[in-house]
Amino acid sequence: GLLRIDHVGIAVADLDEALRFYAENFGLHCVHQETNEEQGVREAMLGVGDGSGPRIQLLAPARPDSAIAKFIDRSGPGLQQLAYTVADVEAAADALRARGLRLLYDTPKRGTAGSRINFVHPKDAGGVLVELVEPA
Ligand code: V0V
């Protein structure tokens, strides 16, 4: 099952500019940053409040053919995904497949900070790109 909201992902054109915007206007600061070559993203996790709850994930394209670049081209910057924490990403994906939802990957891929991730196609989840995250 879904344990909690892990993070909300926001597509941004420029990661450094977005980090400055979030710090200056909302007082939210980066707690983790990395480039994920496979996903074609530069990403930063921002903590909210005491940092114990869900995070904001800023996602910037690392190359022009990436999922985030395509999203920004079509929709502009903004909310791109909603991610839930799960204990076992394969079990969670199997349960959703059994209900007829399309998962994007046959086997989990590497996500932020060594997590294992998969996604439900947004067309099968009411227009929301749903991510499943099994933390490292
Ligand atoms: C596309 N659509 C979306 C959407 N992206 N709807 C809601 N939210 C989104 N993010 C809609 C789009 O408007 C079209 O609707 C339809 O889906 C297109 O479907 P498609 O042709 O099958 O797919 P594409 O080529 O538009 O690609 C969309 C998907 C792609 C979701 C398949 O973005 C993808 O593979 N995403 C998973 C990987 C990812 O997002 N990586 C970046 C984050 P109409 O026009 O047909 O109505 S990496 C990450 O989160 C990490 C590392 C982490 O959390 O650790």
Structure ipTM: 0.98
Q: What is the pLDDT of residues 82-105, one digit of tens each?
A: 999 999 999 999 999 999 999 999
Q: Ligand 1: which of 5, 34, 39 to mutate, most ligand atoms within 8 Å of CB? A: 39
Contacts within 8 Å (CB) and 24+ apart, 33-36? 34/112, 34/113, 35/62, 36/62, 36/110, 36/111, 36/112
Q: Is 62 near ligand 1, meaning CB less than 6 Å away?
A: no
Percentage of residues in the chain with pLDDT exceeding 90?
A: 100
- To the nearest whole number, what is the mean pLDDT of the chain? 98
pLDDT, tens digit only, all 136 positions of the chain: 999 999 999 999 999 999 999 999 999 999 999 999 999 999 999 999 999 999 999 999 999 999 999 999 999 999 999 999 999 999 999 999 999 999 999 999 999 999 999 999 999 999 999 999 999 9
Which residue's C-alpha comes closest to atom 49 of ligand 1? 111
- Superfamily of structural domain 4-134: 2,3-Dihydroxybiphenyl 1,2-Dioxygenase, domain 1 (3.10.180.10)
Q: What pLDDT is stored for residue 73 in this prediction?
A: 98
**For residue 87, what are its two tokens?**
């204990």
Q: Ligand 1: which of 42, 72, 81, 128 to mutate, most ligand atoms within 8 Å of CB? A: 81
Q: Is 41 near ligand 1, meaning CB less than 6 Å away?
A: yes
DSSP E strands, 37-129: 41-47, 55-61, 78-85, 109-110, 116-120
